[in-house]
Copies of this chain bind each other. A is one copy, B any other.
């Protein structure tokens, strides 16, 4: 090195002020090249990532308000849960080992009618957020009722979320009169648009079989106006698709296409019973898919053709679904499940390899919910949503391949620190953003009381 460049370097030392320096970790950027730096660093300022790279390069130039030592840790983009109904955490384990019709109509719908209100949805969402943060999830895409309460919980708890107002042409907990559901949805988008930089309002039309053509078309129009995500359940069970075809003489995917619903800002959840042509239609219109593997297995709904989705290069993320059907919000557990299920189903252990699945809970998941340019990878100018996972554990020893470890060995409880938008919301497994114990106690009380009714 020349004297001149040495002096330039020394002048530059500690000259750049930043908020947070994550240092000495094994950084998996999930950028276009899938670059990894070990040891690597991430520099964060003003809520954004300002630099990422190997530690030996330039790290000395940063003067950080807060340094996080990530040695013996994986540093990852925060995980993205593309489909859930967070407040249903209140019904976690309330009804299991039942077939879908029995489960939904005789247990879940009556329990929801009984227990869901502004207050309970707020606390149900909070307990779900606590669980998600602990599992390294920094963003989730939700569909539920009382979306004001959901938004408030998201804002207060520091996580990021697409908050979808549930719309059905049937009475719902927050809208007993179906005539008013579209107005409710419209008001929600208007009111919560600028509510918090971490809340992205959205519409969640329940399904093609519970919403009329008019409702679907109107709601898609509304989301277009607001540049918001349109979410919908699609072809979850075989029976539902058969009944739909009987009634409408077309497959649900074609029906949505013909209504102009399918585009890059539409996320279809489940997508289990899709034929080849339907997959082509999704691809042609750039619609996104949430693969909800755990819930589909537990309710015996079927196996979504994930390998076909990946071949078609669809934007596919993983969704946990709500706790009434999963019963947990842990993407690391779901990618293990997805890996194993599809290998078995195809009779081919090479399909859906580990890296594809890690992509699905980071950059692909982000793309699915319309946030692909803002989150999902560790790159300059993206929002600083980071999950740090500790490796110093028997079940993660030895380490040959970090992607394999994430899918087949790691679990949510290995997550040590979580940063959202440059704010540290969990540190050394202590949630800093809100009172977790209060939330646990409140939810126990609410569910204890409600279930007695």
| Stretch of A5-13, A376-384, A439-447 lying at the B interface | A439-447
Flag if B354 contacts A96 (CB, 8 Å): yes
Q: How far is the CB of A157 from chain B (nearest CB, A)?
A: 11
- Contacting residue for A394 out of B127, B348, B395, B405, CB 8 A: B127
Flag if B398 contacts A447 (CB, 8 Å): yes
Q: How far is the CB of A158 from chain B (nearest CB, A)?
A: 15
Determine the distance from Cα of A5 to Cα of B413 in the docked complex, in whole angstroms.
51
Flag if B409 contacts A328 (CB, 8 Å): yes
Flag if A97 contacts B411 (CB, 8 Å): no
Say yes or no: A344-B99 contact (C-beta < 8 A), given A298-B339, A440-B397. no
Flag if B408 contacts A326 (CB, 8 Å): yes
Determine the distance from Cα of A127 to Cα of B8 in the docked complex, in whole angstroms.
48
The proximity string for A residues 73-99 relative to B, scoring 1 for CB distances below 8 Å and 0 otherwise, is: 000000000000000011011101111
Flag if A349 contacts B299 (CB, 8 Å): yes
Say yes or no: A96-B401 contact (C-beta < 8 A), given A340-B337, A394-B131. yes
CB-CB under 8 A from A128, the residues of chain B are 394
Q: Does A26 contact B (CB under 8 A)?
A: no
CB-CB under 8 A from A110, the residues of chain B are none
CB-CB under 8 A from A90, the residues of chain B are 398
Nearest opposing residue in chain B for A133, CB measure: B394
Flag if A131 contacts B395 (CB, 8 Å): yes
Flag if B443 contacts A397 (CB, 8 Å): yes
- 26 residue pairs of the A-B complex, CB under 8 angstroms, read A90-B398, A92-B400, A93-B405, A93-B409, A96-B354, A96-B404, A96-B408, A127-B394, A127-B397, A130-B394, A131-B395, A135-B395, A294-B340, A298-B343, A326-B408, A327-B404, A328-B409, A329-B395, A333-B411, A341-B341, A395-B412, A397-B443, A397-B444, A398-B444, A398-B447, A413-B413
A: which residues have CB within 8 A of B? 89-90, 92-94, 96-100, 103, 127-128, 130-131, 134-135, 294, 296-303, 326-330, 333, 336-337, 339-341, 343-344, 346-350, 353-354, 392-395, 397-401, 404-405, 408-409, 411-413, 436, 439-440, 443-444, 447-448, 451
